[in-house]
Amino acid sequence: MKKLFPALRDYLLITLGAFLQAVGLRLFLIPAKLAGGGVSGVAQLINHFTDWQIGLMVLIGNIPLFLLGWRFLGGRKFIIRTALAVVTFSFFIDALTYFLPTEGITDDILLNALYGAVVCGIGFGIVYRGQGTSGGSDILARILNQWRGIPITQSYMIVDSAVIIAAGFIFGWKEALYALITLYVSGIVTETAAQGVSVVRTALIITAEPQAVAQKIFGTLDRGVTLLSGKGAYTGAERTVLYCVVTRTETMRLKRLVNEIDEHAFMVIGQAHEALGEGFTPLDKE
């Protein structure tokens, strides 16, 4: 039973995410002739010349990709969840034609591009939260990454750009340029929906007073500190490096308290998408 409920939760998330993707496509992207890439973009291009249903074409187009994913990516979880995402997405695309206006809700191409990107991006993110993939570009990008070592982001760019260029010849270059905006915004929204907005800051601190700074961070910010051994490449001097994670709102307080103890300290502050464990999101909730 402990394994059943998380699996059901994931399946529900995948179904909800696929539904939102279909809504974004039907309500904004298809009426504005914005082909954002992937199999659904190719299906839109084919639909422009035929009366074939877009959802059915998405399903058919994903079958060879699904078989490739089964061959090169494998995994029972991948097969089940990808199949669920593709089937439900394809079904909702065609089913929503009976409930949503075919002309959309606005003829403003910019609004269609932005809202289509947001709704589809949220849908993608929810599917990823359910540990699923949306098929199409996802499968090709992962295969290119494993087969040729091409980074995932570049793989997406190659696959989706080819579809958008084809859309430029068919729908027009204005629509293709707006489709690029959709692609970019959708990627940002997808990442936010999948990973959340709990962005945190990481800090590396090199100081002559490591213990004093660490104690100040403990007492003032109630944050943990890790002591790392370092060695200056130029001077050869052994130094202690402090590493800690704080929230965005605590960043200025961290700078001030380090400056109070050692105004000559060296700090590097970076950004992390998520922090799990004591003081942040409990690891067991992930």
| Separation of alpha carbons 103 and 27, rounded Å | 8
Tokens 């190659």 belong to residue: 158
Q: Alpha helix locations (H) across the chain?
A: 4-24, 38-49, 54-72, 76-95, 109-129, 137-148, 152-170, 173-195, 210-216, 251-261
**CATH number, domain containing residue 265:** 3.30.70.120
Among the listed ranges 7-11, 80-84, 112-116, 189-193, which one has the minimum average pLDDT value?
A: 189-193
Fill in the amino acid letter for 193: A
- pLDDT tens sequence across 180-195: 899 888 888 887 787 6
Among the ranges given (141-145, 186-190, 204-208), the one the predictor scored with the smallest mean pLDDT:
141-145
Q: Are residues 189 and 271 in the same domain?
A: no
96/145 same-domain check? yes
**Average pLDDT, stretch 48-52?**
87
Q: Tell me, yes or no, whether 188 and 232 share the same domain.
A: no
Number of folded domains in the chain? 2
Mean pLDDT of 251-267: 92
Q: Which domain holds residue 39?
A: 4-195
180 and 79 belong to one structural domain:
yes
Whether 45 and 178 share a structural domain: yes
Of the candidates 32, 21, 22, the residue with the CA atom closest to the CA atom of residue 189: 21
Of the three residues 144, 172, 195, the one that is the final residue of a domain is 195
Q: Is pLDDT of 265 > 70?
A: yes
Amino acid identity at 260 = E
117 and 232 together in one domain: no
Q: Is the pTM of this model over 0.85?
A: no
Backbone φ and ψ of 244, nearest 5°: -150, 160
Which tokens go with 169? 């010849």
Residues 171 and 209 in one domain: no
Residues 188 and 271 in one domain: no
Do residues 169 and 55 both lie within one domain? Answer: yes
Residues 164 and 277 in one domain: no
Residue at which a domain ends, from 195, 228, 254: 195
Q: Measure the CA–CA gap between 232 and 228, rounded to whole angstroms.
A: 13
Domain shared by 138 and 67, yes or no: yes
- Say if residue 28 is in the same domain as residue 168: yes
Q: How far is CA 207 from CA 87, 170, 180, 204, in A?
A: 57, 61, 46, 10
Q: Which of 127, 142, 139, 130 lies closest to 63, judged by CA?
A: 139
Q: Which of 136-140, 167-171, 280-284 has the highest mean pLDDT?
A: 167-171
Mean pLDDT of 54-79: 79
Which of 176, 195, 214 represents a domain boundary (last residue)?
Answer: 195
